[in-house]
Every structure is written in structure tokens, then in C-alpha cells.
Amino acid sequence: MMKKSAFKIARMDCPSEEQMIRMKLEGLNEIKQLDFEIPQRKLTIFHNGNTAEIEKLLAELRLGSNLISDTESQEVIATEADTNNQRKILWAVLIINFAFFVLEMLFGLISKSMGLVADSLDMLADSLVYALSLLAVGQTVIRKKKVAKLSGYFQMALALFGLAEVIRRFKGAEGIPIFQNMIIISFLALLANSVSLYLIQKAKSKEAHMQASAIFTSNDIIINLGVILAGGLVYYFESKIPDLVIGSIVFIIVFQGARRILRLAK
């Protein structure tokens, strides 16, 4: 009879950790299905055989895994009928994120706004995670890890370059960013992320990657609001400092995301 093992994963809070777990467990033929509940940081595994090997592999990821139940199951494992619809939604979200990466990067450079540049890299980071999830389907574990490693190093290099540029601008005599562009472009990005979140929630899926995508997009909305606030503060204080502060915060977020992707590739 099939077993149903539930784990609490203390540090599972975004798609990167989900991908790490999927790739770590992919080689176990005994596993029939993985059910992720990202908001609750819970993973349920339907499998045959002993649970000890699964516990060992999860522990190696150092995500704070803890077995909370291990029972026999008579549940029927079925494939999702709306898989194609989910993939279409994720492709739409990927395209929106990448398009706004280009737009925010362009206007960030024109406006001399590190907030916009940093937000654009956060959009790029999201795109990489979605692309990794979609394009690696059906590929070997080695192939997936190569894709993850390239994405992680690229993202980390951009984040480090951005932080170095922030430091240079703190010390230099750079002019005040064009706050109008900061507010307008971030507002458009906010609308784009709101549309993405609407599409994801409209699917009403309990699948892990859809729930994780909703969390990721919600975080993006918070960052967009942060850049809009920074634009207002730039105008009010006639200073570049608020822009550099929000830029630093977002670059650090992007850097942490890169570290998670590289951990996935190990």
C-alpha cells in the first residue's frame, strides 16, 4: 500500500526551495507525487517503500525539514486536468515579467534611478525562476542543474554589479533621479504584477507551483510600492538617497534569490 509522509519545511517560502526539493528527490522512483503547500511550509509525499531515505535527502538541503506524519494512504493519484491552462498562465506571467524587466531597465538607466534598475532585475529574477520551471520539464537532472547554475550566477553577477553601482553613487556626485519616471514606470509594473496575480488566482489551483507563483508576484507588488514611495521621497527631499536605499534593498533580495538558485544546482 502507498504511504503518505508529511514534512514541515521551515525555510520553504518561494519557488526556489520547491525546485530544490523536486530536483533532490527526482531520482527516487518510489515517489509517486509531491504536494507542496508553500504558505504552510508543508510538503506531502506519496510514495512506496521506506521514508528514511526521503528524510535523509531532505535533511541534506538544510531547509529545516521535519517529518510530522507517516501513514498509509488509499488516495488515488491523478494528473491535473488543467495542466495546459496552468502552463499558459505561467508563460503569460513569464512574458509580463521579462517585458517589464526590459522596460524598467531602460527607464532606470535614462532616469538614473537605481530603484528602477533594481526592480527590473527582480523582474528578471522572477522570469528566470518561471523559465527554469517551464523549460526544464522533461529534461534530465544534470540538464536542470546546468540551467539553474547559469541562471544563478548570472543573477548574482547582476546583483553584485548593482550594489557596486549603488555604493559608487552614494560616494559620487550623481544627480537626483527623475522621480516622475520612477513613479510612472513602477505604477505600470504594479499594474502588470496585479494582472499576473489575477491570472494566477483565477486558475484557482492548489498546485504548488501556482501557489508559489502567487506568493512571488505578491512580493513583487510590495517592491513596486516601495519604488513608488522612494520616488515620492526623492521629490519631497530633493535627494537621491531614497532611490539608493530602495535600490540596495531590492539588489540584496535579488542576490539572496541567486544564492537559492545556486543551492538548487548543487
CATH code (residue 62)? 3.30.70.100
16 occurs within a structural domain? yes
Residue 121's Cβ-count burial label (10 Å; 0-12, 13-18, 19+) is buried
Which amino acid makes up residue 72?
E
Query: Are 144 and 33 within one domain?
Result: no
Query: Are 51 and 88 within one domain?
Result: no
Q: Is the pLDDT of residue 75 over 50?
A: yes
- Residue the block writes with cell 547582476: 158
Domain extent at residue 232: 83-264
Query: 65 forms bridges with which residues in the sheet?
Result: 9
Helix (H, G, I), strand (E, B) or coil at 71: strand
Q: What confidence category does residue 78 fall into, taking pLDDT thresholds of 50, 70 and 90?
A: very low
76 contacts: CB under 8 Å, gap ≥ 6: none
176 occurs within a structural domain? yes
- Which of 21, 51, 72 lies at the terminal end of a domain, its last residue? 72
253 occurs within a structural domain? yes
pLDDT (tens digit per residue) in 182-223: 999 999 999 998 998 888 777 665 555 555 566 667 778 989
Chain-wide mean pLDDT for the chain?
83
Query: Are 258 and 134 within one domain?
Result: yes
Q: Is the pLDDT of residue 129 over 50?
A: yes
Element (H, E) at 189: helix 179-202
Query: Are 139 and 62 within one domain?
Result: no
Query: Are 145 and 54 within one domain?
Result: no
CB pairs under 8 A, 24+ apart, for 80-86? 80/205, 80/207, 82/203, 82/205, 85/203, 86/203, 86/205, 86/207, 86/209, 86/210
7 occurs within a structural domain? yes
C-beta of residue 130 within 8 angstroms of C-beta of residue 101: no
C-beta of residue 224 within 8 angstroms of C-beta of residue 193: yes
Q: What confidence category does residue 80 fall into, taking pLDDT thresholds of 50, 70 and 90?
A: very low
C-beta of residue 103 within 8 angstroms of C-beta of residue 188: yes
Query: Are 22 and 42 within one domain?
Result: yes
78 occurs within a structural domain? no
For residues 71 and 53, what is the distance between their CA atoms, to the nearest angstrom? Answer: 16
Query: Are 168 and 137 within one domain?
Result: yes
Query: Are 52 and 170 within one domain?
Result: no
Helix (H, G, I), strand (E, B) or coil at 78: coil
Residue bearing the bigger pLDDT, 169 or 265: 169
Helix (H, G, I), strand (E, B) or coil at 8: strand
For residues 131 and 147, what is the distance between their CA atoms, to the nearest angstrom? Answer: 10
Query: Are 147 and 256 within one domain?
Result: yes
